[in-house]
Amino acid sequence: MTAQASSPRTQSMDATQDDVLAEVRNHIGHLTLNRPAGLNAITLDMVRLLQQQLDAWATDANVHAVVLRGAGEKAFCAGGDIRSLYDSFKSGGTLHEDFFVEEYALDLTIHHYRKPVLALMDGFVLGGGMGLVQGADLRVVTEKSRLAMPEVAIGYFPDVGGSYFLSRIPGELGIYLGVSGVQIRAADALYCGLADWYLDSNKIAILDEQLDQMAWHDTALKDLQGVLARLAVQQLPDAPLIALRPAIDHFFALPDVPSMVEQLRAVTVADSHDWALATADLLETRSPLAMGVTLEMLRRGRHLSLEDCFALELHLDRQWFERGDLIEGVRALLIDKDKTPRWNPPTLQALGAGHVESFFEGFDRSGS
């Protein structure tokens, strides 16, 4: 980590220091995820480096705000480094246990950070990348942004606070995004409240120049908002989800995923039949168990605090590597790449409500 901050760095961090770059310019701490060849997928070492730097800057009077970004042209962060978790689990390791505990703690740190955080969401923002940005005060998307919680595709569920931020999107949009795992672009991200500002990617360099030269007058948050207001906009026309909203609110309010698939094939709502058929086809490729648990988790998440949502996700995580579909999904899509996962159960019709409910047994909503 190339830091110009006043915080000490432990020698044990040096092996991975280049995976997270840190510097302070004009009272702004800049943190860059620096694994562009891996689409900045986040590892446990990176989680620890980010946590250490944010903790140091939280009490550093020289730092007024933080900017988060990803290196390269393709991604802010394409999620957690799931391959390393798979390898550890298969060899009897506990990396997956440590990773989620510390990753969620980092995400919570950002949600509660005492100084404003600006997240530049240029390129892919998937899974664990969403966990890093959704707690930020100023979430900036570009024309290259692709946001998603795509976990159901590999037999997992949308974690990193997804049970909180997806469940609070208006109507059933968050249920749709979580259960289907589809990607959305900038206009839909603004419409869903998953981003705050749109900025052309070719203006990021100008934004950096203005951040380097800005004078601090008001609160740090207002000063940053003033810079963005000169370069960015907060709404975009023609968000595709606006037209699909009546259909999404109808289908994804149904009691369970089998009902959703059946109705998507049988019923036409607001001239959305082609979308409905394509969505039904997509859902039938996803892990039935992951979709069922995701639906239940998001509906519960609507009534839980942020901390309790993370506690619920951790409760699910502690069972998922043994009982869920993730290991098989990673095998089929990332290891063997045969793209024919053998989900358990194999179909939505074979998924019993009791099987889904069993993952939530023993969860204390107080988070204890």
Could you give the residue numbers annotated as active site?
A: 80, 128, 151, 159
Half-sphere exposure of 259 (CA within 13 A, CB side): 10
**Residue 171 and residue 248: Cα distance in Å, rounded?**
8
CB 283 within 8 A of CB 179: yes
Torsion of CA 303, 140, 137, 24, to 10 degrees: 140
List, edge to edge, every strand of the sheet that includes 65-70.
20-25, 28-33, 65-70, 117-121, 138-141, 197-198
Contacts of residue 71, defined as CB under 8 A and 6 or more positions apart, other chains included, come to 21, 32, 33, 34, 35, 36, 40
Residue 100 gets which letter from DSSP?
H
- Tokens 């990773």 belong to residue: 99
Residue 17 gets which letter from DSSP?
G
The sign of the dihedral angle between the CA atoms of 296, 302, 303, 307 is positive
3-state SS of 308-345 is HHHHHHHHHHHHHHHHCCHHHHHHHHHHCCCCCCCCCC
**Residue 85 and residue 99: Cα distance in Å, rounded?**
8
Residue 149, both tokens? 């919680």
Q: Kind of pairing, strands 117-121 and 138-141? A: parallel
> Which residue in 145, 164, 131, 156 sits closest to 51, CA to CA?
131
> Which residue in 299, 283, 305, 278 sits closest to 351, CA to CA?
283
